[in-house]
Amino acid sequence: MSKYETHYYRDGDLDIRMSEWDCDLSQRHREWGPELFCNDLDCILAQKSLCECQGMVMIESYNHRAYGLIEYKHEAGMEYMERYRFQWRVFAGMADQCEIPAFCCFYRRKDYAMFVIPLNEHAKEWVEEPKWMSERYWVQHLYAFRDLEPSPETLALLNTTRPKNIKAA
């Protein structure tokens, strides 16, 4: 369940795999609109598919300015949430220095619903406590960070399903 990409380095080509869920989310993020530009901060490369949900750390930006630091993880990683607390402190500290919100979002691939966890005070201005959001509601937040609104065409593409009665690990 991985997709091959070729990356280049000084001494030649390096075939690597990226986990399929990360690739799918990256492609889905592009459908959220051209205003929602992001960069994969950690650029984790692996020789094999990831056995555990390591996720992607993204810098959400617009017009050459960072608007948020978000770690996206597949929902299967929710069972490992305690392990991530230390790295979340680092992400929150980085975001605090830039005065931007930091979040961790566990996503469901079937509808891209997000369990959103605010990691710093800037994030709590947008999302007070951890909760599930529909894809549409989360994307509207991403636009709001940038003081923008999604187009009607973008909104029409987004899933409005919000998981009910699901507990976070």
Predicted pLDDT at 11: 42
Predicted pLDDT at 80: 82
Q: How far apart are CA 29 and CA 21, in angstroms?
A: 12
| pLDDT tens, position by position, 37-63 | 877 776 554 444 444 446 778 888 888
Q: How confident is the model at residue 166 (pLDDT cuts 50, 70, 90)?
A: low
| Phi then psi dihedrals of residue 134, to 5 deg | -70, 160
Q: How confident is the model at residue 1 (pLDDT cuts 50, 70, 90)?
A: very low
The closest alpha carbon to 124, from 168, 162, 68, belongs to: 68
Dihedral sign of CA atoms 161, 166, 73, 110 in order: negative
What is this structure's pTM?
A: 0.78
Which residues, including other chains, have CB under 8 Å from residue 114's CB and lie 6 or more apart?
Answer: 105, 106, 107, 108, 132, 133, 135, 138
Note whether 84 and 72 are within 8 A (CB): no
Note whether 54 and 44 are within 8 A (CB): yes
| Kind and range of the H or E run holding 137 | helix 135-145
What b/e sequence results for 140-169 when a residue is b if at least 16 CB atoms lie within 10 Å of its CB, and e otherwise?
bbbbebbeeebeeebeeebbeebeeeeeee
Mean of pLDDT over the chain = 79
Note whether 163 and 113 are within 8 A (CB): yes
